[in-house]
Structure 1
Amino acid sequence: MTDTPDWGLVEYTSIRELRGPLVVVDKVEGVGWDEFVLFTLDSGEQRHGLVLDVDRGTAVVQVLEDTAEIDPLRIRAAFTGTPLRIPVGPGWLGRVCNGRGEPLDGGPPVFGSTTSAVGGNPVNPVRREPPAEPVLTGISAVDALTTLVRGQKLPVFSAAGLPHLELAAQIAAQSTAGGEPFSVVFAAMGVTHADAGFVRDALEERSAAGELVLLLNTAADPVIERILTPRIALTVAEHLAFTGGRHVLVVMTDMTSYAEALREVSAARGEIPARRAYPGYLYSDLASLYERCGRIRGLPGSVTVLPLLTMPAGDITHPVPDLTGYITEGQVVLSREMHAKGVYPPVDALSSLSRLMRKGAGPGRTRDDHLDVAAQLLAALARARQVRELADLIGQAALSPTDRRYLAFDEAFAHGFVDQRRDERRTLEQTLERAWQVLLTLPRSQLSMLPAEFLDAHAAPEGG
């Protein structure tokens, strides 16, 4: 993030109080919401802020760094008259920055030929193109059953102790758009230093190839920075996509850390809390991030958003996953049961869904048999879960031969299809062939959702 030049701005010294990460400035004139503010300390150090609220000449400003060592009697505030803007362009590719966009890789500040407001620009809904064509992640459980589509927003719901960060890094490292120009913007929020180091190492190859923008906000960084990080990531992605003609995948983790930062700032402002003490505008705030994806008619490229969030205590009705589910187009759910079986990634296929899958998979997009295979896998998996519950009640000895085949299918599905190495990139052909191998553990008579020509091509004999 670059400093805004001094255009002869009026500086205010009427600082009433410091309230956590907030500064309250009195006697201001002509100040608006989201306006960018420059603070100058007595030592000459500059800090940055954004206006949260203005009421009768009093402005509440959130400081992006922190308010430590600030003396309210010796600080000057200059309101720039514009929202926060950052330079945008291909100069971001290959860079590692903090949550404010300042370099962490030892390089110079990021420069661009133009700047964009981090709040984004509203898109006329009439100009939006429906999402189409897949983003292939190299993860079988995602590519086959919850296909990610260019322009989609598809969250990953996880819980503490599950390998969601490893999955996020693997998807960011492996994803492709069928040979078309592709980039990844990875925004990490509230991660530990160890996790930040892991992400940098896991994505080093993609970064060296000039296909990655990495923004790292650690738990030790100011809370306010956490609110800014996903907005900077999306601003960079929008320019790479709609001006640079790239298909851009934005991975944001962890959105629960973001929501908790929002809650902390809301409490500091003295706002009336809503569910679980989160602010009442949590839904609209999350929507302002998630909805910045898509394709725009007449412009090249696309922005696809993959937010990851941890569900506190594994509660999917918690406000963050609950509201995220309303806004987004499906979800990929990670399961403790699959994790306990030693399966990676521990995806619960029956709880996962991509509502736009049919827009990006099937004939002409992936493979002719893709949608039929996915439907048959899920139907068989649902039956296998019922059989397993029955076996727990009456014992496996009392099951019919067909039911026992479903138990074998359940194990084959987990260990032969979903499970893969953390550095393994499977092509779609490899994924679908594994799916067929798993399905053929069942008698042909049980594969009623697959057309006969597909069954004949894979030689599934009657009775297995």
Structure 2
Amino acid sequence: MSDISYKTTRRVTGALLFVENLEVAQYNELVEITFPDGGTVSGQVLDTSKDVTIIEPFTETSGLDITNTKIRLTGSPAKLQVSEKMLGRVFDGLGRPRDGGIPVYSDNKLDINGSPINPYARERPSEFISTGISAIDGMNSLIKGQKLPIFSGAGMPHLKIATQIIKQARTNSNKGNFYVVFGGIGISSEDANFFINEVGTSKARERTIMFINLASEPSLERLTLPRVAITAAEFLAFQNGADVLVILADMTNYAEALREISSARDEIPGRRGYPGYMYTDFASIFERAGRVKGKEGSITQIPILTMPLDDITHPIPDLTGYITEGQIVLNRGLMRENVYPNIDVLLSLSRLMDNGVGEGMTREDHKQLSNQLYAAYAQGKDLRNLAKIIGEDALSDEDKTYLKFADEFETKFINQDYSEDRDIKRTLDLGWELLSMLDKKDMKRISEDNIKKYGKWKT
């Protein structure tokens, strides 16, 4: 750390300090800010130029006496001290304990900014990760090393689904060396307490690291938290050979913080006022997931975001979809029908599903079964819309059977209790039970061998 302090802060705009004569400052460098009363906080360099350096403190700046405020450069970016002792703990967006425990001390300090995995060094994502949720495992399977976001909306139970995944997620390999890193970005105190209590009282606690940033806390923490969380995951995955699932919620709050900082810097806005570099910024987070050739561990990501006004074309879900490998979409109509989890399987997609399902991974009938369930459910939903126009009585008996299938699929397959952990065998068997409602001759997407082996038809 430099011994030189600078008292050249010229103005404060929003949460940003504009400091002159800091030509030696580096982008993303950590700084120490000393207030006139002797108190100190950390800050981060957001932008550098010959004339002005922009710094954001990790605290509020209202009423700041800029004349007597001192800035000291540390000479290094923000780093996280990483250790396996972080498991079972709760930290803030900067990696500081917020559970009342002692700080984690380690000689192993990693730059939180990291870097995306080199495409040449990437190992193809493979191997099935079970979430215990049929709509995901059976229809849109999560694969080790994948980036599979959840597109939600305000008031939907995405945080509840995330908690259920944290408690139930598992792999079939790596000798139980499976961990979860959760990052709560700009969430309410109520949601934070729900996560901490639910995970803290479950068996998943000892394998989970939680990073929480509250909505009332500085916006800069919302920008650092995903990077801090992924840095901890990279330590567990690539230095300890573990499979790590990273869940980030809510990336919409992250994007709002990005827009707030961009506006304070007087940058030219892009779509809906978000900065033009939001795609690149998202990619710097999401592309840190994956598998690396020659290393045992993996990082799988489930970013969760709330779509403003349930608009899937909004820049946040739109850009996320370009970077990630599919999406799990929540449906408000299903939520109104008390279907939990309210996953819209027809709008959802896992682009890497084929890499991790089938014989030797889940079961040989998995992909064919899911294709047939998709087709039957889609036909049932089309007939449901038709019945609203012409009336159900005008439908044929076969059409009414598909209509009933769609209802049963939603209430029995998609719908499950929050505490119900369905293994893949139960999920697939349930799918076969539902298909037995239909005529066997309509099973065009399933081989005769699989129908004979797993079919539930009586004749």
CA contact (8 A) 2:289 2:301 kept: yes
TM-score computed with the length of structure 1 as normaliser = 0.96
CA contact (8 A) 2:433 2:456 kept: no
Secondary structure (helix, strand or coil) at the match of 1:351 reads: coil
CA contact (8 A) 2:185 2:213 kept: yes
1:169-195 CA-partner distances (Å, limit 9, x unpaired):
111111011253111111011111111
For 1:289 and 1:123, locate their aligned partners in 2 and report how far apart those are by CA, in whole Å: 11
Instruction: Check 1:69–1:86 CA distance in 2 against 1; reply closer, same or farther (3 A cut).
Output: farther
Give unpaired runs (5+ residues) of structure 2.
none
Per the alignment, residue 3 of structure 1 pairs with none
Displacement, 1:294? 0.2
For 2:403 and 2:165, locate their aligned partners in 1 and report how far apart those are by CA, in whole Å: 30
For 2:119 and 2:14, locate their aligned partners in 1 and report how far apart those are by CA, in whole Å: 39
How many residues align structurally? 457
Per the alignment, residue 157 of structure 1 pairs with 151
CA contact (8 A) 2:126 2:144 kept: yes
CA contact (8 A) 1:9 1:80 kept: no
Per the alignment, residue 442 of structure 2 pairs with 446
Moved more, 52-61 or 285-294: 52-61
For 2:83 and 2:357, locate their aligned partners in 1 and report how far apart those are by CA, in whole Å: 31
1:209-240 CA-partner distances (Å, limit 9, x unpaired):
42011111111111111111111001110111
CA contact (8 A) 2:183 2:248 kept: yes
Secondary structure (helix, strand or coil) at the match of 1:285 reads: helix
1:409 paired with 2:389, answer no
What CA RMSD, in Å, does the superposition of the two structures yield over aligned residues?
Answer: 1.4
Displacement, 1:40? 1.5
For 2:321 and 2:76, locate their aligned partners in 1 and report how far apart those are by CA, in whole Å: 33
For residue 355 of structure 1, what is the amino acid of its counterpart?
A: R
Instruction: Check 1:319–1:208 CA distance in 2 against 1; reply closer, same or farther (3 A cut).
Output: closer
1:53 paired with 2:47, answer yes
Structure 2 residue corresponding to 1:240, chosen from 236, 249, 265:
236
Displacement, 1:264? 0.6
Structure 2 residue corresponding to 1:199, chosen from 195, 201, 224:
195
Per the alignment, residue 349 of structure 2 pairs with 353
Structure 1 residue corresponding to 2:451, chosen from 438, 448, 455:
455
Equivalent residues in 2 for 1:52-451, closer than 5 Å: 52-180=46-174, 181-206=177-202, 209-451=205-447
Displacement, 1:57? 3.8
For 2:106 and 2:135, locate their aligned partners in 1 and report how far apart those are by CA, in whole Å: 38
1:412-453 CA-partner distances (Å, limit 9, x unpaired):
100111111111111111111111111111110111111111
1:228-257 CA-partner distances (Å, limit 9, x unpaired):
111100111011100011111110001111
Secondary structure (helix, strand or coil) at the match of 2:32 reads: strand
Displacement, 1:459? 4.3
For 2:142 and 2:294, locate their aligned partners in 1 and report how far apart those are by CA, in whole Å: 22
Moved more, 179-188 or 200-209: 200-209
For residue 350 of structure 2, what is the amino acid of its counterpart?
A: S
Q: Flag as ranges the 4+ runs of structure 1 deviating above 3 A.
A: 205-209, 458-462
Instruction: Check 1:249–1:442 CA distance in 2 against 1; reply closer, same or farther (3 A cut).
Output: same
For 2:457 and 2:183, locate their aligned partners in 1 and report how far apart those are by CA, in whole Å: 49
For 1:148 and 1:268, locate their aligned partners in 2 and report how far apart those are by CA, in whole Å: 39
Displacement, 1:30? 1.8
Secondary structure (helix, strand or coil) at the match of 2:138 reads: helix
For residue 55 of structure 2, what is the amino acid of its counterpart?
A: V
1:32 paired with 2:26, answer yes
Instruction: Check 1:31–1:8 CA distance in 2 against 1; reply closer, same or farther (3 A cut).
Output: closer
Moved more, 257-266 or 77-86: 77-86
CA contact (8 A) 2:182 2:209 kept: yes
CA contact (8 A) 2:2 2:74 kept: no
1:151-176 CA-partner distances (Å, limit 9, x unpaired):
11000001112111101111111101
For 1:68 and 1:396, locate their aligned partners in 2 and report how far apart those are by CA, in whole Å: 63
For 1:67 and 1:299, locate their aligned partners in 2 and report how far apart those are by CA, in whole Å: 44
For 1:232 and 1:129, locate their aligned partners in 2 and report how far apart those are by CA, in whole Å: 24
CA contact (8 A) 1:186 1:233 kept: yes
For 1:300 and 1:198, locate their aligned partners in 2 and report how far apart those are by CA, in whole Å: 33
Displacement, 1:208? 6.7
